[in-house]
Amino acid sequence: MDLRTPPEVIEATLKVAEAKVATGRSLPRLMTLSVLAGAYIALGGVLSVIVGYGFPGLTEANPALQRVLSGAMFPIGLILVVVLGAELFTGNNALLIPAFMSRRCTAGEVARNWTLVYLGNFVGALLFTWLMVYAVGLTAADPWHSAMQRIAVAKVSMPWLTVFVKGVGANWCVCLAVWLALSGRTLLSKMAGCWLPVMAFVALGYEHSIANMFFIPLGMMEGAPVGVGEAVTANLIPATLGNIAGGALLVGCVHAALHLQRKPEGKKS
């Protein structure tokens, strides 16, 4: 199989980061791509719920089966983001770091991208959740109705530090998936690269901030006793901070430090 080496993947991230910074100069384009990414992740979320919680007779006696089924479905969201070039906050947590470390983009450009993309992802996830899931009744009946209520309540009931650490784990997996996808040169290899780590983070129950922009609001729409402030402070904030740490530090920084090719001092490109 024709794969890029780890140093070649880092070089690929530099080109991706330069393209993302250039895209950021057109606010309508950046926000459109960000809204699309939020919708793609929400699509993966609802598919994981419909399939993962759709066999209660089997999964009640085999709890790991529900996690495997949900995990197997969710990666369609990241596959669409990666293949179609959408802007996802959690992926960008890692993708912009090698360029920042090599001084190809500034801290301000990184912060601007993360902030705008995060907001766009939120809008896309909420719009998809309301229009394409709740309004058409995809989860109105049990077992999905009660499952969404339980999911939303569970996500805001964990200790703050637990959500943070689970956020680290989630984006470590997601950004490793992005790295694997960049190492592939064919559609199938990119899909496989996205699928395996993302399936792992879903099955393990880690916390992905953009996915939670689907899970928690849908649970609230379905009647879960969760307030907006509680959703933000008890889950989205610690999950987001954990996602930044997992993606930027454990993937972007680590792999750039290991594989970024630095030019010798005194030599110009």
Q: Which residues contact 197 (CB under 8 A, 6 or more apart)?
A: 173, 174, 176, 177, 180
What is the model's pLDDT at position 263?
53
Q: How much is the average pLDDT of 12-32?
A: 95
What is the pLDDT confidence band of residue 264, given thresholds at 50, 70 and 90? very low
What is the model's pLDDT at position 209?
98
* Assigned token pair, 179: 């790295």
Share of residues in the chain with pLDDT > 70 (%): 97
Q: How much is the average pLDDT of 238-252?
A: 98
What is the model's pLDDT at position 2?
81
Given a cut of 60, whether residue 41 has pLDDT beyond it is yes
What is the model's pLDDT at position 1?
57
What is the pLDDT confidence band of residue 261, given thresholds at 50, 70 and 90? confident
Given a cut of 80, whether residue 180 has pLDDT beyond it is yes
Q: How much is the average pLDDT of 56-75?
A: 95
Which domains are seen in the chain, by residue range?
Answer: 6-259 (1.20.1080.10)
Q: Answer yes or no: are the C-beta atoms of 189 and 4 closer than 8 Å.
A: no
Q: How much is the average pLDDT of 110-119?
A: 98
Mean of per-residue pLDDT scores for the chain = 95
What is the model's pLDDT at position 267?
43
Given a cut of 60, whether residue 269 has pLDDT beyond it is no
Q: How much is the average pLDDT of 160-170?
A: 98
The number of beta carbons lying within 10 Å of the beta carbon of residue 104 is 15
Q: How much is the average pLDDT of 52-61?
A: 93
Q: Which parts of 129-183 fold into alpha helices (H)?
A: 144-157, 160-183
Place of tokens 């950021």: 24
What is the model's pLDDT at position 106?
96
Whole-angstrom Cα distance, residue 95 to residue 75?
18
Q: How much is the average pLDDT of 195-223?
A: 98
Q: Answer yes or no: are the C-beta atoms of 232 and 112 closer than 8 Å.
A: no
* Assigned token pair, 29: 């384009």
Q: How much is the average pLDDT of 242-269?
A: 82
Q: What angle do CA 111, 116, 121 make, to 5 degrees?
A: 125
| Residue of 208, 209, 207, 228 lying closest to 217 (CA atoms) | 228
Q: How much is the average pLDDT of 169-173?
A: 98
Is the pTM of the predicted complex or chain greater than 0.75?
Answer: yes
